[in-house]
Amino acid sequence: MKTWCIALTGTFCSIILLAFIPPRPLQKFHIQGYSQGTTYQVTYYAADSVVSQKQTDSLLNRLDKSVNLYQANSLICKFNASPKGIMIDGHFRILVKKALEINHATGGLVDVTVKPLVDAWGFGVKKPAHFPDSARVKTILKNIGSDKIWLQGSFLHKKLPGVQIDLNGIAQGYAADLLSNFLQRKHVYNYVAEIGGELRIHGRKPNGKPFKIGIEAIDDNDINPGPLRKVITPGDGAITTSGNYRKHLEAGGRQISHIMDPKTGYPTQNEMISVTVWARDGITADGYDNGFIAMGLKRTLRFLQKRTDIGAYIIYQKPNGAVADTVTAGFKGYK
Amino acid sequence: MERRIFIKNTGMIAGGLLINKTQNIFGASAGAIVRIAVVGCGDRGKGVMSVILKSPDKFKITAVCDVLDFRLTEANKMNKTGDTWKNYTDYHKLMDDKNVDAVVVAVPLNMHYPVAVEVLKADKHLYLEKTMTYNIEQALDLVKMVKARPKQVVQVGHQYRYSPLYYRVKEMIAKGYLGKISQVDCRWDRNANWRRPVPSPGLERQINWRMYKEYSGGLVAELLSHQIDFINWAFDTHPEEFMATGGIDVFKDGRETYDNVQVLLRYPEQGMIGNFGATCGNSRDGYLFKIKGTKGTVSLLTDQGMFYPEKDLLKGNDVVDGVTGATRIVWNKEGGSPILPEPTKDGTWYALNDFYDKIGSGKLPDSNIYTGAKTAICVSLANQALYGKQITNWKKEYSV
């Protein structure tokens, strides 16, 4: 009884003592690396450096081997070169499933089968000598359309050998998700993970303040960028941006957008300059942002009118040439 | 009106010459084809010819000249135009050729001045390879001569800076994107003897003229002059102090010009040091050109360039925890941004196109007699420092 009493008192004392040991303070850790042809950065707060660049590099490398068009041996390149399709891996399957879902939701305006158009208009890996004429566009369009690919288990089929897909518009958002999941598995709950301008955010800074996210200026000057256009505090979720201001070509004094209209076969031409999307995860936000550029202002606003699970901050050009912006109800952290 | 008075005063012959020249100038502006003679058909001469031949709408080669017969044979082999090119072994004789509007001079450095003088006297436009002249006296003399002949276009062959990339870097410097620039690092290295094959031993000095002081300013004149010239042009300046060291350290094969050189230039006005080096004993760096400022570094090849912002400036962004934007195109893992989205064409292409335009407009080329003289003087002062083992200084009378 006595022994039991001592043991109990001991345990009690230990609990009291433990309660008084201050938790180890959170420190800021920063990882900077290179993947998918762009840079990535992770800033996280933890007691210790529980996540290393070696780990994040290898995580993103696996995705690269699956869906990077710039890696000749990637699964996506093998699929594009195949006559009927190939067996794909888990990452690839998740991305294709989501892409098909978004294709359906946007009435076909977001379509991963636009790759032959992207190439023909000079935004692919190989640069053509000149822009395609209408006859060439018509021929290319025969291979465009999400009805020309389908999943059967882990086999991704294609209807015609010329069908090719490009997951660049969605893969970076998904890469941010992978970084986010990995941090959570390591019990890191306060972080910002960014790849190619697409972000996943979770938690707060140790001082209790929310993470501040800047929306880049639209001045196309990478060498000496202008000041941030807006600073937002979106809280937990994903923020991605699609813009016409950085990647475009010029022809006859006209700017050619890198976002293709899968219906017409021509680059989109409308008032949209840049769309920043908030959604719960990166694959969704990144999957939709190009689509909103293609939809144009009116349709995008209608699409997002009553939605709170996804929102957008849109920069567009008014008919008089002035640059304006607007925000939808679902866009978080905008003041 | 002025022209009429001039003809009246100078008589028929001189007047006739002037009319001829005027027709050439205005002819080119109306899209006429400029008839070119190439003096010196070695590697560089043939290189320029190959670019000229790609623009048959602007240029037509009508004559070639070289003291070596086999070089003329090689040059003529490039002729797929159907026209025959007049062949000369004596450049003096070429000067009387009425079918020549402009002369490209690509001869050994010691011959730049005498050939250029003849071209100018013959009232033809001149594209003179770099370095403009062998010494300072010739540079100053040529400036005087060209000043007196405003209707002739004279361009100096510092072709690299004609690339849009180099114009963009000049603009970046002017706009302060690099911050305060304190250092310029340049190299042009190779792991090879820098010799050309010699068909018979008697031709050694003629073919490998770069090895001999009598003909050449060595690595500084033939290679580093491009980068020295770019810095002069981009900053609109020139160095005041020249220090140098070097030797024949790798190839002790009877050459006289050094195969290992390092030149240190001081630009007091800019508060800037220029390090220009070349060796024949290592090829790792090859062509290296770095301009270093408080805000970032520009790193250049001949046809592409990167900008690396200073890391502390990127980290110092405490306003936000992340930035969203359209995907940045990044070429390399160190986080540099390409200065231009695509590699540019060979500099000679841009330089010759501009030569054509300037013949049409009569305007001063960007690589002109004044910038050419400034660089030739720099090369000469650097070589005096290098071979004379002394510190040399810019003199007031060099500023023309």
Q: Which residues of A touch B326 (CB under 8 A)?
A: 197, 216, 241-247, 274
pLDDT mean over A285-290: 93
Task: Say yes or no for a CB contact (<8 Å) between B324 and A43.
Answer: no
Task: Say yes or no for a CB contact (<8 Å) between B328 and A38.
Answer: yes
pLDDT of residue B23: 40
Pairing of strands B181-188, B272-279: parallel
Report CA-CA distances (Å) from A175 to A8, A33, A53, A236, B113: 50, 13, 14, 16, 63
Report pLDDT digits (tens) over B122-172. Answer: 999 999 999 999 999 999 999 999 999 999 999 999 999 999 999 999 999
Report pLDDT digits (tens) over A160-208. Answer: 999 999 998 899 999 999 999 999 999 999 999 999 889 999 999 999 9
What's CA B271's distance to the chain center, in Å?
26
- Least confident among A33-42, A141-150, B181-190: A33-42
Q: Does A34 touch chain B (CB under 8 A)?
A: yes
- Top-confidence residue, B255 or B344: B255
Q: Which of B177, B307, B324 sits opposite A198 (nearest CB)?
A: B324
- Top-confidence residue, B13 or B218: B218
Q: Which residues of B touch A238 (CB under 8 A)?
A: none
> Residue A81, CB half-sphere, CA atoms under 13 Å: how many?
8
Alpha-carbon Rg for chain A in angstroms: 23
**How many A-B residue pairs are in contact by the CB < 8 A criterion?**
98
Q: Which of A197, A224, A247 sits opposite B177 (nearest CB)?
A: A224
Q: Which chain A residue has the Cα nearest residue B328?
A: A196
Report pLDDT digits (tens) over A43-78. Answer: 999 999 999 999 999 999 999 999 998 888 999 999
Phi, psi of A285 (to 5 degrees): -60, -50
Q: Does B329 touch chain A (CB under 8 A)?
A: yes
pLDDT mean over A287-294: 90
Q: Which of B307, B320, B342 sits opposite A214 (nearest CB)?
A: B320
CA distance B359 to B27: 9
Report pLDDT digits (tens) over A119-166. Answer: 898 887 777 778 889 999 999 999 999 999 999 999 999 999 999 999
Q: Which of B177, B321, B322 sits opposite A223 (nearest CB)?
A: B177
CA distance B53 to B62: 11
pLDDT of residue A222: 62
Inter-residue contact A277 to A164 (CB < 8 Å)? no
Inter-residue contact A63 to A91 (CB < 8 Å)? yes
A313, A316, A322, A326 alpha-carbon torsion, rounded to 10°: -30
pLDDT of residue B312: 67
Task: Say yes or no for a CB contact (<8 Å) between A216 and B326.
Answer: yes
Q: Which of A192, A197, A214 sits opposite B327 (nearest CB)?
A: A197
- Top-confidence residue, A335 or B92: B92
Of the pLDDT bands very low, low, confident and very high (cuts 50, 70, 90), residue A20 is low
pLDDT mean over B112-128: 98
pLDDT mean over A19-35: 83
Of the pLDDT bands very low, low, confident and very high (cuts 50, 70, 90), residue A223 is low
Q: Which residues of A touch B171 (CB under 8 A)?
A: none
Predicted ipTM of the assembly:
0.76
User: Which residues of A, range 118-157, sit inside 8 Å of B by Cβ?
Assistant: 127
Task: Say yes or no for a CB contact (<8 Å) between A211 and B327.
Answer: no
Task: Say yes or no for a CB contact (<8 Å) between A223 and B172.
Answer: yes
User: Residue A221, by phi and psi: left (phi above 0), alpha (psi -120 to 50) or beta?
Assistant: beta
Q: Does B318 touch chain A (CB under 8 A)?
A: no
Q: Which of B172, B320, B330 sits opposite A231 (nearest CB)?
A: B320
Q: Does A246 touch chain B (CB under 8 A)?
A: yes
Q: Which residues of A touch B328 (CB under 8 A)?
A: 38-39, 196-197, 222, 246
Cis peptide bond prior to B131, omega within 30° of 0: yes
Task: Say yes or no for a CB contact (<8 Å) between B321 and A43.
Answer: yes
pLDDT of residue A301: 95
